[in-house]
Structure 1
Amino acid sequence: MTEKTHKPRIAVLFGGRSSEHAVSCVTAVGVMGAIDRQKYDVVPVGISKNGQWVLAGQETERWQITADSLPEVDPAAQAVALHSNGAGTELVSSAPGEIPQLLGEVDVVFPLLHGPFGEDGTVQGLLELADIRYVGSGVLASAVGMDKEYMKIIFSSAGLRVYPYQVIRENEWRRSRSAVLARVEELGWPVFVKPARAGSSMGISKVDGPEQLEAAIEFAREYDPKVIVEAAVSGREVECAVLQGRDGAPTRTSFPGEVVTSGDHSFYDFEAKYVAGSGTSLSCPAELPDAAIKEIRRAAAKAFEAIDAEGLSRVDFFYTPEGEVVINEINTLPGFTPRSMYPQMWAASGMSYPELVEELIQLALSRKTGLR
């Protein structure tokens, strides 16, 4: 077998069918801009909202979120597919009525798909079947990290503290709505009503009383038929970035950062996260006692390992006035725009955005395919 002489080719996969399509587009353009083009070839592959895989452009201005518009992958662009040839993985054109054309080998896929049908283990399963190396967590960890119910079950089993919550499934909501509402009221007020399998604060409502509850559940159900309702935590929102260790080395954690919202944002909603000038900032390192910082970093690494995550994750906590650390959730594919909390925390901890992207690519290149 002849040795490869081309630069490693990275297929950056973004867009997707979930409600977080636009966030994925913004994330992708940030990552593509940070990849060292002297070292790697980069192929942008977009997935349209209807599931079409296409060659996408890399123009920065095309993929920005503004208060008035959201970016979207064009389904009419050149259709492509990943093809395993037994010796490697190739990217081929797949336009109907045309002979498929080889567009080059792919060494690593960098999935930047947020939400269902991308972050939840579905795309990871496809890549596993094709023996394609990729950045980030595998099938199980991705699925658990997407589903807030099972995530909390595993966290509790690992000895991490979670706050009370209730899960509402579609059948019981249709069958016994009054009983569901009564059960949720036992959590007290306020509560947060969320789609169980969505991110980027999509479909979330803060509910201060029973008169708002039913509408909030219906709003969450627009994003996911399965809904989770969480008791509100009186505490500061603190996050910690996690990075897999190299060659079996211990899991790495950043300094914790604190999300600071202002203006009209009563919680960390979509606009606060992604629209420039929305009055949101990150304080990193967070102004916390040394013991609390140590505990947050320990708990973040434990959460990462509890779900068997790989590559990267962001773990979110509440730090209560009593000094308790309560885990909220893990995100196995956190927002990765230059202003996102994950890269900002690593920057404050001594690893720049390009260095972080390079580290994730190297982790993916070095791991074996198949069962790990």
Structure 2
Amino acid sequence: MDRPAVVVLFGGRSSEHSISSATAGGVLRAISRDRYRVIPVGITRAGAFVLEDDDPDKFRLDADELPEVIDNGTRILWPEAGGDRVLRVRRADGSVDDLGAVDVVLPILHGVHGEDGTVQGFLDTLEIPYAGGGVLDSALCMDKHFMKIVLQAAGVPVSPWVTVTRAAWGREQERIRRDAAALGLPMFVKPARAGSSVGVSKVAHPDELDAALQLAFAEDDKVLIETAIVGREIEVAILEGRGGAASRASLPGEIVLTTREFYDFEGKYLGGDGAEVVCPAELTDAEIARIQELGIRAFDAVDGRGLARVDFFLAADDLYVNELNTMPGFTPISMFPKCWIASGMSYPELISELIDTARERAST
């Protein structure tokens, strides 16, 4: 039997372009070539779809030189909806080659124009199966404001917050300062639609609010100001159930901070000191059960599909959901794979799980 063709799609137009490219390096290194025929497709920062080299080392995570998709002159020609699903590439010299029929796309994209439902809608329009979240859950979880509203409606505890638009900040600064002050100090300021801790600041004094908002507005026109929850940072990995089964939760992991104020971009990806990813976390059986149950509830509340990482604050009084990531960091050292590895599933098996779940969903 011919191997199913999997398009590994990465890069993109968001500020998380390099992290997506680094994730691609890990996936390309681990995906089973015995089971799948792999077609690497990169999206440049300008939004061009190009045929990439099947070379994991090209996209390894290097703190001194972050990987990226460079325009090599090729252009991916996507199949027409209702057609034969044959992918084609136009070479730099103008010639066109067939790459064969596509069975599934693995979109390992982070941030806007990829993790927000836009690429998912594009693939739905072309009737090409794809792994991971769909349009609705991707869009909801990319926008932290609406994600919190949905979780609240489902009875899932979230940290108190105020949402501020750039336009409102220009008109009503004093009112917004009062609303923020009511949240107490310290507080966090973050873009509503960004990830990887880009544009996030911890505010310990009211005088720091303006600069924090300025940093967040550089990423998004909508920003959240949140109460800082004092507690342990716990994360759990969720996978969609197969064959009508319920969603599944991994053993939880923990972000252990020593010298960092919060788990920022450097701590996550560049090997900065002061932050450690520990999985499984040291928790009681009751805490593990509660985290897994609430993680699945949150995933189901947003109509989750494929996978998600649910991030919590385990405080003295309650367990709070911080956010859901529908395409979490997926490098071999990221929390999502580490949680499933600790739960008995290898990194290559996890990649196959996502691909096979998408193919099964498309066949029903």
Cα displacement string for residues 285-309 of structure 1 (whole angstroms, at most 9, x for unaligned residues): 2112221111110000001111111
- SS of equivalent to 2:78: strand
- SS of equivalent to 2:243: helix
Measure, in 2, the Cα distance between the counterparts of 1:105 and 1:256. 38
- The percent of aligned pairs where both chains have the same amino acid is 48
Q: Indicate the residue corresponding to 2:139 in structure 1.
A: 143
Q: Indicate the residue corresponding to 1:350 in structure 2.
A: 344
Task: Compare 356-365 and 173-182 and name the one that shifted more.
Answer: 173-182
Count the aligned residue pairs.
364
**Mapped pair 1:63 → 2:37:** no
8 Å CA contact 1:245–1:251 kept in 2: the answer is: yes
Q: Indicate the residue corresponding to 2:207 in structure 1.
A: 211
8 Å CA contact 2:186–2:205 kept in 1: the answer is: yes
- SS of equivalent to 2:362: coil
- SS of equivalent to 1:294: helix
TM alignment of 1:227-306, pairs within 5 A: 227-263=223-259, 265-276=260-271, 278-306=273-301
Amino acid at match of 1:355: E
8 Å CA contact 2:16–2:111 kept in 1: the answer is: yes
Q: Indicate the residue corresponding to 1:132 in structure 2.
A: 128
Measure, in 2, the Cα distance between the counterparts of 1:121 and 1:170. 23
- SS of equivalent to 2:79: strand
Gaps of 5+ in 1: none
Shift of 1:70: 1.5
Amino acid at match of 1:334: P
Task: Compare 44-53 and 101-110 and name the one that shifted more.
Answer: 101-110
**Mapped pair 1:165 → 2:161:** yes
TM alignment of 1:307-346, pairs within 5 A: 307-322=302-317, 324-346=318-340
Measure, in 2, the Cα distance between the counterparts of 1:24 and 1:70. 10
Match of 1:189 among 185, 188, 201: 185
Shift of 1:95: 5.3
- SS of equivalent to 1:93: strand
Amino acid at match of 2:188: F
Q: Indicate the residue corresponding to 2:171 in structure 1.
A: 175
Cα displacement string for residues 236-287 of structure 1 (whole angstroms, at most 9, x for unaligned residues): 0000000111101111100111111234x21100111111363432222211
8 Å CA contact 2:159–2:226 kept in 1: the answer is: yes
- SS of equivalent to 1:84: coil
Measure, in 2, the Cα distance between the counterparts of 1:272 and 1:302. 29
Q: TM-score, normalised by structure 2?
A: 0.96
Task: Compare 89-98 and 198-207 and name the one that shifted more.
Answer: 89-98
Shift of 1:32: 1.5
Q: TM-score, normalised by structure 1?
A: 0.94
- SS of equivalent to 1:317: strand
- SS of equivalent to 1:367: helix
Gaps of 5+ in 2: none
8 Å CA contact 1:292–1:325 kept in 2: the answer is: no
8 Å CA contact 1:181–1:214 kept in 2: the answer is: no
